[in-house]
Amino acid sequence: MLQKIVCIALPGMAPFEFGTICEVFGIDRTDMGGPGFDFTVVAADPGPVPVKHGLQLIVPDDLSAAEDADLIAIPAYLWTGFDDRVLDVIRRAAARGAWVLSVCSGAFYLAEAGILDGKRATTHWMHADKLAERYPAIEVDPDVLFVEQGNIVTGAGTSAGIDAALHIVRKELGAGAANVIARRMVVPPQRDGGQAQYIDSPVPECRTDSFAEVTQWMMEHLQEDLSIEQLARRALMSTRTFARRFRADTGTTPAAWLNRQRIIRAQQLLEESDLGLEQIAQQTGFGSAAVMRHHFVKVLQTSPLAYRRTFGAREGAPVEELQSA
């Protein structure tokens, strides 16, 4: 169970990336039905820790608090050298199976500790070449928001640390807990990007009221075969004008918008209901489990059955699912 979280404050670390770790894990959200963690910030040398922009952070706790943590988080930092004491904490955490999370250039600390050797990892794209050059045993992927390799998660630059942290919350505590945190932070549970299969990828909201009625109607009729001609008629527009204005307003096509909403609704049903895959496919407008599986694999890089096994609230699954997955 994910309960005790320790963030290691490093000299020269970036305040924003440090703050994302504190924001996800350091706020008690039990009043909203979310999690409350035992969160502690530690330092190799307790006291004032210099950070970027000429600031100092006063950290009273030493590294001993990290020895039994369920998750160790390393924020982004300026390369001012590595502290062997911090490296040892990271190695011991990884060895005992605790989660180890890095944000942005924090991946260099994980790399220096040797826990990324032979594994795939990411960091900010500006630092990816340097990470790959300095640590050739690591497969560096600069094109993803985060990478999970066993109990180690590396996040890309800046706000991707939120994506990576929410991924761990969702894997450990479920979609509901991650969604509560995301809503409180006013961020999407997960943006589109690599390894997004475990977190909802939201559809862009309409920026104006032009399509509010139409999109609401689409949401209420996901199970139907909706054509762009039908949607254009409801909007009192020609098909061409509707398609052009819809993309301008939402940033995506009507078909892509509708498909994403169907996926999100299917995710919800897989997590919260006992319905079989064929029933879910019918209710969400995919028509069949095979078609739904195609879209899950294409967009989320996982199958509906695998998704349910990971995030479903129940233990068993109907036989029909095993046959159609």
Both 181 and 294 in a single domain?
Answer: no
> Tokens 């440090």, residue?
18
Both 108 and 228 in a single domain?
Answer: no
Q: Is 269 left (phi over 0), alpha (psi -120 to 50) or beta?
A: alpha
From the CB of residue 36, how many other CB atoms can be counted at a distance below 10 Å?
Answer: 12
Question: Range of 123's domain?
Answer: 4-185
286 inside domain? yes
Q: Which two tokens stand for residue 233?
A: 């008629």
Q: Residues 192-251: pLDDT tens digits?
A: 434 333 334 444 455 555 677 888 888 899 999 999 999 999 888 999 999 998 888 877
Please tell me the total count of domains within the chain.
2
Q: Beta 152-155 vs 146-149: how paired, if at all?
A: antiparallel
pTM for the predicted model, two decimal places? 0.63
Phi first, then psi: what are they for 95, rounded to 5°?
-65, -35
pLDDT (average), residues 64-93: 94
> Tokens 């204005």, residue?
245
Q: How open is the CA angle 146-152-156, to the nearest 5 degrees?
A: 25
Quick check: is 22 catalytic?
A: no
Both 70 and 145 in a single domain?
Answer: yes
CA–CA dist 175, 96 (Å, integer): 26
- Catalytic residue chosen out of the listed positions 7, 22, 104, 206: 104
CA–CA dist 113, 298 (Å, integer): 35
Both 267 and 132 in a single domain?
Answer: no
CATH of the domain at 12: 3.40.50.880
CATH of the domain at 277: 1.10.10.60
Q: Residues 120-132: pLDDT tens digits?
A: 999 998 899 999 9
Both 262 and 304 in a single domain?
Answer: yes
Both 146 and 256 in a single domain?
Answer: no
Cα 174 → chain centroid: 12
> Under DSSP, is residue 235 helix (H, G, I), strand (E, B) or coil?
coil
Among candidates 72, 74, 73, which has minimal Cα distance to 12? 74
The predicted structure's pLDDT at residue 210? 60
Q: Residues 252-311: pLDDT tens digits?
A: 888 988 998 899 889 889 988 989 999 999 999 999 999 999 998 888 778 898 888 767
